[in-house]
Amino acid sequence: MDSQISAPTIRILHLEDSEIDHQLVALMLRKHGLAFDMERVETLDDFRARIADQSFDVVLADYHLAGFTALDAWVLFQQQPQRPPFVLLSGAIGEAAAVEAIRVGFADYVLKDHIGKLGHVIERAIEVSQARQAKARADADLARSERQLAELAEHLQTSIEQERAAIAREVHDDIGGSLAAIRFDLAWIARHSADAAMQAHVTAASEMLQHAIGASQRIMMNLRPPILDQGLVAAIQWLAEAFERRTGVATVFRACRERIAADKTISLVAYRTAQEALTNISKYAQCSRVTIELSDAEGVLTLEVSDNGRGLDADALAKPKAFGLRGLHERAKTVDGWMDVSSRAGQGTSITLSVPLQPGATERLAEGEPT
Protein backbone atom coordinates (compact mmCIF):
# COMPACT_ATOMS: atom_id res chain seq x y z
CA MET A 1 0.00 0.00 0.00
CA ASP A 2 1.08 3.57 -0.59
CA SER A 3 2.40 5.24 2.54
CA GLN A 4 0.90 8.52 1.45
CA ILE A 5 -2.73 9.35 0.81
CA SER A 6 -3.18 11.17 -2.49
CA ALA A 7 -4.78 14.61 -2.36
CA PRO A 8 -8.40 14.80 -3.56
CA THR A 9 -8.95 16.10 -7.06
CA ILE A 10 -10.24 19.68 -7.10
CA ARG A 11 -13.10 20.28 -9.53
CA ILE A 12 -12.78 23.72 -11.15
CA LEU A 13 -15.28 25.53 -13.36
CA HIS A 14 -13.38 28.07 -15.46
CA LEU A 15 -15.39 30.92 -16.99
CA GLU A 16 -12.99 32.06 -19.71
CA ASP A 17 -13.42 32.98 -23.41
CA SER A 18 -9.75 32.43 -24.30
CA GLU A 19 -8.52 28.86 -24.83
CA ILE A 20 -4.93 30.05 -24.55
CA ASP A 21 -5.56 31.60 -21.12
CA HIS A 22 -7.39 28.43 -20.07
CA GLN A 23 -4.39 26.28 -21.03
CA LEU A 24 -2.07 28.70 -19.23
CA VAL A 25 -4.12 28.35 -16.05
CA ALA A 26 -3.99 24.55 -16.33
CA LEU A 27 -0.22 24.68 -16.83
CA MET A 28 0.32 26.88 -13.77
CA LEU A 29 -1.89 24.71 -11.58
CA ARG A 30 -0.03 21.55 -12.66
CA LYS A 31 3.25 23.32 -11.98
CA HIS A 32 1.94 24.14 -8.51
CA GLY A 33 1.28 20.45 -7.95
CA LEU A 34 -2.47 20.77 -7.67
CA ALA A 35 -4.60 17.71 -8.50
CA PHE A 36 -7.53 19.15 -10.45
CA ASP A 37 -10.18 18.56 -13.06
CA MET A 38 -11.05 21.81 -14.87
CA GLU A 39 -13.92 22.53 -17.26
CA ARG A 40 -14.14 25.70 -19.34
CA VAL A 41 -17.33 27.58 -20.27
CA GLU A 42 -17.61 30.79 -22.29
CA THR A 43 -21.21 31.97 -22.07
CA LEU A 44 -23.63 32.84 -19.29
CA ASP A 45 -26.03 30.15 -20.49
CA ASP A 46 -23.36 27.46 -20.26
CA PHE A 47 -22.26 28.80 -16.89
CA ARG A 48 -25.84 28.69 -15.60
CA ALA A 49 -26.30 25.13 -16.83
CA ARG A 50 -23.05 23.83 -15.29
CA ILE A 51 -23.53 25.32 -11.85
CA ALA A 52 -27.15 24.13 -11.80
CA ASP A 53 -26.53 20.43 -12.48
CA GLN A 54 -22.92 19.85 -11.40
CA SER A 55 -20.93 20.48 -8.24
CA PHE A 56 -17.56 22.23 -8.22
CA ASP A 57 -14.99 22.97 -5.55
CA VAL A 58 -14.13 26.38 -6.94
CA VAL A 59 -15.27 28.75 -9.70
CA LEU A 60 -12.55 30.66 -11.56
CA ALA A 61 -13.61 33.54 -13.81
CA ASP A 62 -12.14 36.20 -16.03
CA TYR A 63 -13.64 39.64 -15.45
CA HIS A 64 -14.28 40.92 -18.97
CA LEU A 65 -15.95 38.37 -21.26
CA ALA A 66 -17.89 38.59 -24.51
CA GLY A 67 -20.97 40.67 -23.76
CA PHE A 68 -20.87 40.36 -19.97
CA THR A 69 -18.63 40.50 -16.91
CA ALA A 70 -17.90 38.25 -13.98
CA LEU A 71 -20.36 40.28 -11.92
CA ASP A 72 -23.18 39.11 -14.21
CA ALA A 73 -22.08 35.53 -13.62
CA TRP A 74 -21.97 36.26 -9.90
CA VAL A 75 -25.67 37.19 -9.95
CA LEU A 76 -26.51 33.78 -11.42
CA PHE A 77 -24.11 32.11 -9.02
CA GLN A 78 -25.89 33.62 -6.03
CA GLN A 79 -29.10 31.84 -7.00
CA GLN A 80 -27.56 28.43 -6.26
CA PRO A 81 -28.15 26.82 -2.85
CA GLN A 82 -24.61 25.42 -2.68
CA ARG A 83 -21.93 27.91 -3.67
CA PRO A 84 -18.21 27.09 -3.85
CA PRO A 85 -15.66 29.91 -3.59
CA PHE A 86 -15.63 32.26 -6.59
CA VAL A 87 -12.15 33.48 -7.55
CA LEU A 88 -11.59 36.29 -10.05
CA LEU A 89 -8.65 35.95 -12.49
CA SER A 90 -8.21 38.86 -14.86
CA GLY A 91 -5.59 40.90 -16.57
CA ALA A 92 -7.74 43.96 -17.19
CA ILE A 93 -9.49 44.82 -13.95
CA GLY A 94 -9.16 48.12 -12.19
CA GLU A 95 -8.77 48.56 -8.46
CA ALA A 96 -12.36 49.80 -8.07
CA ALA A 97 -13.75 46.72 -9.83
CA ALA A 98 -11.58 44.42 -7.71
CA VAL A 99 -12.74 46.09 -4.49
CA GLU A 100 -16.38 45.82 -5.59
CA ALA A 101 -15.92 42.13 -6.40
CA ILE A 102 -14.55 41.40 -2.93
CA ARG A 103 -17.29 43.51 -1.36
CA VAL A 104 -20.10 41.54 -2.98
CA GLY A 105 -18.59 38.24 -1.87
CA PHE A 106 -15.91 37.01 -4.26
CA ALA A 107 -13.43 34.81 -2.41
CA ASP A 108 -10.36 36.49 -3.91
CA TYR A 109 -8.88 37.88 -7.11
CA VAL A 110 -5.60 37.34 -8.95
CA LEU A 111 -4.08 39.42 -11.71
CA LYS A 112 -2.96 37.39 -14.73
CA ASP A 113 0.44 39.06 -14.40
CA HIS A 114 0.72 37.23 -11.04
CA ILE A 115 -0.80 33.95 -12.16
CA GLY A 116 1.88 32.04 -10.30
CA LYS A 117 -0.04 32.77 -7.08
CA LEU A 118 -3.22 31.16 -8.40
CA GLY A 119 -2.59 27.71 -6.91
CA HIS A 120 -2.08 29.13 -3.42
CA VAL A 121 -5.14 31.39 -3.79
CA ILE A 122 -7.36 28.46 -4.84
CA GLU A 123 -6.17 26.30 -1.95
CA ARG A 124 -6.72 29.08 0.53
CA ALA A 125 -10.16 29.90 -0.87
CA ILE A 126 -11.23 26.26 -0.55
CA GLU A 127 -9.89 26.06 3.01
CA VAL A 128 -11.77 29.21 4.01
CA SER A 129 -14.94 27.93 2.32
CA GLN A 130 -14.68 24.58 4.11
CA ALA A 131 -14.11 26.33 7.43
CA ARG A 132 -17.20 28.50 6.86
CA GLN A 133 -19.27 25.46 5.93
CA ALA A 134 -18.08 23.65 9.04
CA LYS A 135 -18.96 26.68 11.16
CA ALA A 136 -22.38 26.90 9.51
CA ARG A 137 -23.02 23.23 10.26
CA ALA A 138 -21.84 23.71 13.84
CA ASP A 139 -24.07 26.79 14.22
CA ALA A 140 -27.02 24.83 12.81
CA ASP A 141 -26.34 21.95 15.19
CA LEU A 142 -26.06 24.38 18.10
CA ALA A 143 -29.29 26.13 17.13
CA ARG A 144 -31.04 22.78 16.84
CA SER A 145 -29.72 21.72 20.26
CA GLU A 146 -30.80 25.02 21.84
CA ARG A 147 -34.22 24.66 20.26
CA GLN A 148 -34.55 21.11 21.59
CA LEU A 149 -33.42 22.23 25.05
CA ALA A 150 -35.94 25.08 24.99
CA GLU A 151 -38.69 22.64 24.00
CA LEU A 152 -37.60 20.28 26.77
CA ALA A 153 -37.57 23.12 29.31
CA GLU A 154 -41.06 24.17 28.24
CA HIS A 155 -42.27 20.57 28.51
CA LEU A 156 -40.74 20.22 31.96
CA GLN A 157 -42.29 23.47 33.15
CA THR A 158 -45.68 22.37 31.87
CA SER A 159 -45.30 19.00 33.56
CA ILE A 160 -44.26 20.65 36.81
CA GLU A 161 -47.29 22.96 36.78
CA GLN A 162 -49.58 20.01 36.04
CA GLU A 163 -48.06 18.06 38.93
CA ARG A 164 -48.44 21.05 41.21
CA ALA A 165 -52.09 21.39 40.24
CA ALA A 166 -52.69 17.68 40.88
CA ILE A 167 -50.99 17.85 44.30
CA ALA A 168 -52.93 20.99 45.18
CA ARG A 169 -56.20 19.20 44.37
CA GLU A 170 -55.18 16.26 46.55
CA VAL A 171 -54.26 18.58 49.42
CA HIS A 172 -57.59 20.36 49.07
CA ASP A 173 -59.77 17.30 48.63
CA ASP A 174 -58.09 14.77 50.92
CA ILE A 175 -56.10 16.65 53.54
CA GLY A 176 -58.41 19.65 53.58
CA GLY A 177 -61.47 17.45 53.92
CA SER A 178 -59.88 15.44 56.73
CA LEU A 179 -58.86 18.56 58.62
CA ALA A 180 -62.36 19.99 58.30
CA ALA A 181 -63.81 16.74 59.68
CA ILE A 182 -61.40 16.84 62.62
CA ARG A 183 -62.44 20.42 63.36
CA PHE A 184 -66.10 19.36 63.56
CA ASP A 185 -65.21 16.48 65.87
CA LEU A 186 -63.21 18.75 68.17
CA ALA A 187 -66.10 21.21 68.27
CA TRP A 188 -68.45 18.36 69.21
CA ILE A 189 -66.11 17.22 71.99
CA ALA A 190 -65.84 20.78 73.31
CA ARG A 191 -69.64 21.10 73.45
CA HIS A 192 -70.22 17.74 75.15
CA SER A 193 -67.44 17.66 77.73
CA ALA A 194 -67.29 19.61 80.95
CA ASP A 195 -63.95 18.18 82.05
CA ALA A 196 -61.38 20.99 82.37
CA ALA A 197 -58.47 18.78 81.29
CA MET A 198 -60.42 17.63 78.24
CA GLN A 199 -61.27 21.23 77.34
CA ALA A 200 -57.59 22.17 77.60
CA HIS A 201 -56.64 19.35 75.23
CA VAL A 202 -59.41 20.34 72.85
CA THR A 203 -58.19 23.94 72.84
CA ALA A 204 -54.58 22.89 72.18
CA ALA A 205 -55.69 20.49 69.45
CA SER A 206 -57.84 23.19 67.86
CA GLU A 207 -54.90 25.57 67.77
CA MET A 208 -52.69 22.94 66.14
CA LEU A 209 -55.50 22.13 63.73
CA GLN A 210 -55.84 25.77 62.75
CA HIS A 211 -52.11 25.88 62.15
CA ALA A 212 -52.35 22.78 59.93
CA ILE A 213 -55.25 24.28 57.98
CA GLY A 214 -53.28 27.48 57.43
CA ALA A 215 -50.24 25.48 56.32
CA SER A 216 -52.31 23.43 53.88
CA GLN A 217 -53.80 26.62 52.44
CA ARG A 218 -50.33 28.11 51.97
CA ILE A 219 -49.15 24.92 50.31
CA MET A 220 -52.11 24.96 47.92
CA MET A 221 -51.54 28.64 47.18
CA ASN A 222 -47.89 28.02 46.34
CA LEU A 223 -48.65 24.93 44.27
CA ARG A 224 -51.49 26.38 42.25
CA PRO A 225 -52.25 30.06 42.90
CA PRO A 226 -56.04 30.43 42.48
CA ILE A 227 -55.59 34.14 43.05
CA LEU A 228 -54.39 34.36 39.44
CA ASP A 229 -58.05 33.95 38.50
CA GLN A 230 -58.50 37.47 39.89
CA GLY A 231 -55.85 38.84 37.56
CA LEU A 232 -52.08 39.22 37.51
CA VAL A 233 -52.05 42.53 39.40
CA ALA A 234 -54.06 41.05 42.29
CA ALA A 235 -51.84 37.96 42.36
CA ILE A 236 -48.55 39.91 42.50
CA GLN A 237 -50.01 42.24 45.12
CA TRP A 238 -50.99 39.22 47.24
CA LEU A 239 -47.43 37.88 46.91
CA ALA A 240 -45.99 41.20 48.04
CA GLU A 241 -48.31 41.47 51.05
CA ALA A 242 -47.68 37.86 52.07
CA PHE A 243 -43.91 38.37 51.74
CA GLU A 244 -44.02 41.47 53.94
CA ARG A 245 -46.09 39.68 56.61
CA ARG A 246 -43.80 36.66 56.60
CA THR A 247 -40.42 38.41 56.57
CA GLY A 248 -41.10 41.83 58.06
CA VAL A 249 -39.32 43.44 55.07
CA ALA A 250 -41.05 46.59 53.80
CA THR A 251 -42.44 45.70 50.38
CA VAL A 252 -43.84 48.23 47.91
CA PHE A 253 -45.91 47.12 44.93
CA ARG A 254 -46.74 49.44 42.04
CA ALA A 255 -48.76 48.61 38.93
CA CYS A 256 -49.53 50.84 35.97
CA ARG A 257 -53.21 49.88 36.12
CA GLU A 258 -55.63 47.82 38.18
CA ARG A 259 -55.83 45.09 35.56
CA ILE A 260 -53.27 44.02 32.96
CA ALA A 261 -54.31 41.92 29.99
CA ALA A 262 -52.14 38.79 29.80
CA ASP A 263 -53.06 35.21 29.01
CA LYS A 264 -52.83 32.50 31.66
CA THR A 265 -49.45 31.22 30.50
CA ILE A 266 -47.79 34.64 30.63
CA SER A 267 -49.48 35.45 33.94
CA LEU A 268 -48.20 32.22 35.45
CA VAL A 269 -44.65 32.92 34.21
CA ALA A 270 -44.75 36.41 35.74
CA TYR A 271 -46.20 35.08 38.99
CA ARG A 272 -43.56 32.33 39.30
CA THR A 273 -40.81 34.83 38.48
CA ALA A 274 -41.95 37.15 41.26
CA GLN A 275 -42.34 34.20 43.62
CA GLU A 276 -38.82 32.89 42.93
CA ALA A 277 -37.34 36.40 43.16
CA LEU A 278 -38.94 36.94 46.58
CA THR A 279 -37.75 33.52 47.73
CA ASN A 280 -34.18 34.40 46.76
CA ILE A 281 -34.49 37.76 48.53
CA SER A 282 -35.67 36.13 51.75
CA LYS A 283 -32.76 33.67 51.63
CA TYR A 284 -29.83 35.81 50.56
CA ALA A 285 -30.50 39.54 50.18
CA GLN A 286 -30.41 40.71 53.82
CA CYS A 287 -32.36 43.77 52.73
CA SER A 288 -34.73 46.21 54.43
CA ARG A 289 -36.84 47.16 51.39
CA VAL A 290 -38.26 45.43 48.31
CA THR A 291 -39.93 47.12 45.35
CA ILE A 292 -42.09 45.30 42.79
CA GLU A 293 -43.21 47.12 39.64
CA LEU A 294 -45.58 45.78 36.99
CA SER A 295 -46.46 47.48 33.71
CA ASP A 296 -47.61 46.77 30.16
CA ALA A 297 -46.16 49.81 28.40
CA GLU A 298 -45.75 49.60 24.61
CA GLY A 299 -47.24 46.13 24.43
CA VAL A 300 -44.60 44.53 26.67
CA LEU A 301 -45.34 43.10 30.09
CA THR A 302 -42.54 44.16 32.41
CA LEU A 303 -42.07 42.86 35.93
CA GLU A 304 -39.21 44.21 38.04
CA VAL A 305 -38.38 42.95 41.52
CA SER A 306 -35.59 44.88 43.24
CA ASP A 307 -34.12 45.05 46.72
CA ASN A 308 -31.57 47.15 48.60
CA GLY A 309 -29.69 44.18 50.00
CA ARG A 310 -26.14 42.97 49.77
CA GLY A 311 -26.34 42.17 46.06
CA LEU A 312 -24.77 39.39 44.04
CA ASP A 313 -21.27 39.25 42.64
CA ALA A 314 -20.48 38.03 39.12
CA ASP A 315 -19.34 34.63 40.40
CA ALA A 316 -22.68 34.04 42.09
CA LEU A 317 -24.57 34.87 38.90
CA ALA A 318 -22.35 32.62 36.78
CA LYS A 319 -21.95 29.64 39.09
CA PRO A 320 -22.93 26.34 37.47
CA LYS A 321 -25.55 25.48 40.09
CA ALA A 322 -27.47 28.75 39.96
CA PHE A 323 -30.53 26.77 38.90
CA GLY A 324 -33.07 29.22 40.32
CA LEU A 325 -32.01 32.13 38.12
CA ARG A 326 -31.30 29.85 35.17
CA GLY A 327 -34.76 28.37 35.55
CA LEU A 328 -36.26 31.86 35.39
CA HIS A 329 -34.38 32.53 32.16
CA GLU A 330 -35.69 29.31 30.62
CA ARG A 331 -39.22 29.96 31.88
CA ALA A 332 -39.17 33.41 30.23
CA LYS A 333 -38.17 31.85 26.91
CA THR A 334 -41.26 29.65 26.93
CA VAL A 335 -43.39 32.76 26.37
CA ASP A 336 -40.90 34.46 23.99
CA GLY A 337 -39.72 36.71 26.80
CA TRP A 338 -36.36 37.51 28.32
CA MET A 339 -35.02 38.14 31.78
CA ASP A 340 -32.25 40.37 33.06
CA VAL A 341 -30.47 40.22 36.41
CA SER A 342 -28.50 43.29 37.46
CA SER A 343 -26.68 43.46 40.75
CA ARG A 344 -23.80 45.17 42.48
CA ALA A 345 -22.27 44.04 45.74
CA GLY A 346 -23.71 46.06 48.59
CA GLN A 347 -26.20 47.89 46.37
CA GLY A 348 -28.96 45.38 45.87
CA THR A 349 -30.29 43.24 43.04
CA SER A 350 -32.89 43.80 40.36
CA ILE A 351 -34.62 41.03 38.38
CA THR A 352 -36.54 42.17 35.32
CA LEU A 353 -38.87 40.04 33.22
CA SER A 354 -40.08 41.33 29.83
CA VAL A 355 -42.68 39.50 27.74
CA PRO A 356 -44.34 40.75 24.53
CA LEU A 357 -48.12 40.88 24.83
CA GLN A 358 -50.57 40.21 22.05
CA PRO A 359 -51.29 43.38 20.04
CA GLY A 360 -54.45 45.09 21.19
CA ALA A 361 -54.80 43.15 24.45
CA THR A 362 -54.73 46.28 26.59
CA GLU A 363 -57.24 48.02 24.34
CA ARG A 364 -59.63 45.03 24.51
CA LEU A 365 -59.38 45.05 28.30
CA ALA A 366 -60.12 48.76 28.47
CA GLU A 367 -63.21 48.21 26.33
CA GLY A 368 -64.41 45.42 28.60
CA GLU A 369 -63.82 42.52 26.22
CA PRO A 370 -62.62 39.19 27.64
CA THR A 371 -58.96 38.21 27.25
Instruction: Name 102's bridge partners.
Output: none
Mean pLDDT over each residue of the chain, to the nearest integer:
84
Query: Do residue 257 and residue 126 come from a single domain?
Result: no
The confidence band for 368, taking pLDDT boundaries of 50, 70 and 90, is very low
Determine the Cα–Cα distance for residues 328 and 351; give it in Å rounded to an integer.
10
Answer yes or no: is 252 within a domain: yes
Give the CATH number, domain containing residue 128. Answer: 3.40.50.2300
Residues in contact with 76: Cβ distance below 8 Å, sequence separation at least 6, in sequence order: 44, 47, 48, 51
Answer yes or no: is 35 within a domain: yes
322 has a pLDDT exceeding 70: no
Answer yes or no: is 302 within a domain: yes
The pLDDT tens digits for 185-240 are 888 988 888 888 888 988 999 899 888 888 887 787 777 777 788 899 999 999 99
Boundary residue ending a domain (136, 155, 183): 136
The sign of the torsion formed by the CA atoms of 270, 271, 275, 276 equals negative
Radius of gyration from C-alpha coordinates of the chain: 36
Answer yes or no: is 190 within a domain: no
Neighbouring C-alpha atoms within 13 Å toward the C-beta of 291 = 11
Answer yes or no: is 74 within a domain: yes
356 has a pLDDT exceeding 70: yes
- 256-261 average pLDDT score: 89
Determine the Cα–Cα distance for residues 110 and 121; give it in Å rounded to an integer.
8
201 Cα distance to chain centroid: 58
pLDDT at 160: 76
| pTM exceeds 0.75, yes or no | no
Of these ranges, 146-155, 156-165, 325-334, the one predicted with the greatest mean pLDDT is 325-334
The confidence band for 20, taking pLDDT boundaries of 50, 70 and 90, is very high
| Phi, psi at 196, each rounded to 5° | -65, -40
Query: Do residue 370 and residue 237 come from a single domain?
Result: yes
Answer yes or no: is 80 within a domain: yes
The confidence band for 320, taking pLDDT boundaries of 50, 70 and 90, is low
Answer yes or no: is 219 within a domain: no
Cβ proximity of 350 and 325 under 8 Å: no
Give the CATH number, domain containing residue 260. Answer: 3.30.565.10
Three-class SS state of 59? strand
- 298-316 average pLDDT score: 86
Answer yes or no: is 171 within a domain: no
pLDDT at 194: 83
The pLDDT tens digits for 60-90 are 998 888 888 888 898 888 888 778 999 988 8
- Secondary structure (DSSP) of 245-296: HHH--EEEEEESSS-----HHHHHHHHHHHHHHHHHIIIII--SEEEEEEE-
Task: Please give the residue that has the higher pLDDT: either 160 or 43.
Answer: 43
pLDDT at 12: 94
pLDDT at 316: 60
pLDDT at 321: 53
Boundary residue ending a domain (92, 113, 136): 136
Determine the Cα–Cα distance for residues 47 and 64; give it in Å rounded to an integer.
15
Can you point out the beta strands (E) in the chain?
10-15, 36-41, 58-61, 64-65, 68-69, 86-90, 108-111, 250-255, 289-295, 300-307, 338-343, 349-356
The pLDDT tens digits for 275-294 are 999 998 998 889 999 999 99
Boundary residue ending a domain (86, 111, 136): 136
Determine the Cα–Cα distance for residues 95 and 88; give it in Å rounded to an integer.
13
The confidence band for 26, taking pLDDT boundaries of 50, 70 and 90, is very high
Cβ proximity of 86 and 74 under 8 Å: yes
Task: Please give the residue that has the higher pLDDT: either 168 or 267.
Answer: 267
Query: Taking Cα atoms as reference points, which of 340, 332, 225, 336 lies closest to residue 275?
Result: 225
Query: Do residue 261 and residue 371 come from a single domain?
Result: yes
Query: Do residue 107 and residue 245 come from a single domain?
Result: no
**Domain total of the chain:** 2
Query: Do residue 230 and residue 371 come from a single domain?
Result: yes
Cβ proximity of 333 and 354 under 8 Å: no
Domain assignment of residue 269, given as a range = 226-371
pLDDT at 120: 92
